[in-house]
Structure 1
Amino acid sequence: MTSTELKHQARLQEWAGAIQDCRSSGLSVRQWCRERGTTPTTYYRWERELLSVASTTKALPETPAVAFAELPVPKQVPCNVAERSATLRMDNVSIDIYPQCGPEQLKTLVEILRTC
C-alpha cells in the first residue's frame, strides 16, 4: 500500500468516527459542521465515500489501535549464596534451594534431578 493510500485510509477512519459523532450528537449536520469548522459538502462527500467503501467491501476493515503501556522494571532479588536454605546433590549434579522456592518447584527440581 502506498503512502497516499495509507493517508486516505487514515482519513476514512477519521471521518468514520466524525460521522458517528455527528449522528450521536443530536445536532443537525449543518450545526455540527459549523461547530467544527467544516462544511456540510465535505461531510457528505466523506459520508458517500464511506458508504461506497462499505458497499464494495461489505465492511470497513477493523484495524486494531496500537497501544503501548509502560511496565515497571521487575524488582531484582539477589540470590546470595549465604541465603540458600539447602543444596540437593545427586551424583555429580547439585541444585541450591533458596527460601523463595515453593513446594511445587521443589518437587519439580527433585524429579529433574532423578532424570540426570
Structure 2
Amino acid sequence: MTQPRANRRSQDEWFQLIQECRNSGLSDRAWCEQHGILVSSFYNAVKRLRKSACDIPLSSNRRAYALDLTSSSKQEAVQIDICPDPYPEAVPPAKQMCPAPHLDNSHTIELMMDNVSLKVSNSADPFLLQQIIRMLRADQC
C-alpha cells in the first residue's frame, strides 16, 4: 500500500528551508538528507521560487566557485625582468591599426532573449545585472 502524500509546503516555508540550507555550509544533498527532504523536491522549490523572482543564494558547493567581488583578497605580485630586444631594427614598425567601426569588442558577454540583446562589460555592477536579468525573466512569463 502506498503512503499518503505529505502536506505541501507553502512558498514561504520553502523559502525559509532553502535559506536555512544555503546558510548551513552543507551541500544541498547533505542538508536535505539530514532533514528528510527529497533533493528533487528541494530543487523544484528552488526553481519555482526563482521563477517568482525570489532571491535564492547559491548552494555552498557552488559558492566556492563563484567570483567573490566583495572580498579584499590579495594577489601575489611577481617581478619580471624585461630585457631589451637585441635586434630592434630587424622587425619593421607596425602600422597603427584602428579597429573596424562595425566591431564593438568593449563587452565581455552578450545575452540575447527574444528581441532583447544585452551586452555586458567586465565593469558591470553585478547587482544591477542581476536585477536586469530578473526583470527580463519576469517579462517572458
Query: TM-score, length-normalised on structure 2?
Result: 0.32
Which of the pair has more CA radius of gyration?
Answer: 1
TM-score by length of structure 1 reads 0.39
**Structure with a larger share of its residues in helix:** 1
Where relative contact order (Cα < 8 A, 6+ residues apart) is larger, the structure is 2
